[in-house]
Chain A
Amino acid sequence: SQQGEEDPQALSIQEGENATMNCSYKTSINNLQWYRQNSGRGLVHLILIRSNEREKHSGRLRVTLDTSKKSSSLLITASRAADTASYFCATDVQGAGKSTFGDGTTLTVKP
């Protein structure tokens, strides 16, 4: 099974609303990262949160990390149609050399 799993698989909201997506993982991590992928493009890094951090902000993005629950959430506030994309979490497991990506959440923001 996946180290990092996003929830929900798909999310559809109206422009201006907030979007929240979650990532759960199974083993202890060094960092957790969020990426965005627009249709037909490569993934773009959004934010990295370290295991000793609980919350991080970047513009309209807010990421939280709860290591006791082994989960993270990505909140996009005041969503725009341009936020329509797939969002992936990637976990950096302690002792592992690489980041492990989940299956992603597909976000659709309707204008």
Chain B
Amino acid sequence: DAGVIQSPRHEVTEMGQEVTLRCKPISGHNSLFWYRQTMMRGLELLIYFNNNVPIDDSGMPEDRFSAKMPNASFSTLKIQPSEPRDSAVYFCASSFLLQDEQYFGPGTRLTVT
């Protein structure tokens, strides 16, 4: 298996633009997690899904952030409109069960200017 796949790996955009981050979890995994990591705030859990259903989105910072998981092999995290303070590395991770070992993707480094 190729592991968790994220795209794009780097994204540079201007304030106000819409940004869509994509994640393909490991086949057979039932849980998917979106994290954000910055120097200031560390690793933050934004939202997680179980069997494609969002379970807890309390970590989503604002209504500008939304996430979907239309099927077991694909998830998106959207920021609309983006702001400079959204600049961070966004990680997607998947696991077989919720409290199992998580496999992290390589991350998307987002820069909003």
- Please state if A42 and B99 are interface contacts (CB–CB under 8 Å): no
- With A88-B43, A97-B98, A98-B33 known as contacts, the answer to whether A43 contacts B104 (CB < 8 A) is yes
- With A42-B91, A88-B43 known as contacts, the answer to whether A97 contacts B102 (CB < 8 A) is no
Chain B's interface: helix, strand, loop or mixed, by majority?
A: strand
- Please state if B102 and A45 are interface contacts (CB–CB under 8 Å): yes
Chain B residues whose CB sits within 8 angstroms of the CB of A98 once the complex forms: 33, 45, 48, 55-56, 98-99
- With A42-B91, A103-B42 known as contacts, the answer to whether A97 contacts B48 (CB < 8 A) is yes
The smallest C-beta distance from A15 to any residue of chain B, in angstroms, reads 27
Q: Which B1-26 residues have C-beta < 8 A from chain A? A: 4
The smallest C-beta distance from B69 to any residue of chain A, in angstroms, reads 15
Q: Which B55-74 residues have C-beta < 8 A from chain A? A: 55-56
Number of interface residues of B (CB under 8 A): 20
- Please state if B104 and A44 are interface contacts (CB–CB under 8 Å): yes
- Please state if A42 and B98 are interface contacts (CB–CB under 8 Å): no
- Please state if A33 and B101 are interface contacts (CB–CB under 8 Å): yes
The smallest C-beta distance from B105 to any residue of chain A, in angstroms, reads 6
> How far is A13 from B93 in the complex, measured between Cα atoms in Å?
31
Q: Which residues of A contact B (CB under 8 A)?
A: 30-31, 33, 35, 41-45, 48, 88, 90, 92, 97-101, 103-104
Q: Which residues of B contact A (CB under 8 A)?
A: 4, 33, 42-43, 45, 48, 50, 55-56, 91, 93, 98-99, 101-107
Extra contacts besides A43-B43, A98-B45 (11): CB < 8 Å = A31-B99, A41-B106, A41-B107, A45-B102, A45-B103, A88-B43, A92-B99, A98-B48, A98-B98, A99-B102, A101-B42
> Can you list 28 residue pairs at the A/B interface with Cβ under 8 Å?
A31-B99, A33-B101, A35-B102, A41-B107, A42-B91, A42-B93, A42-B105, A42-B106, A43-B91, A45-B101, A45-B102, A45-B103, A48-B101, A88-B43, A90-B102, A97-B48, A97-B55, A97-B56, A97-B98, A97-B99, A98-B33, A98-B48, A98-B55, A99-B99, A99-B102, A101-B43, A104-B42, A104-B43
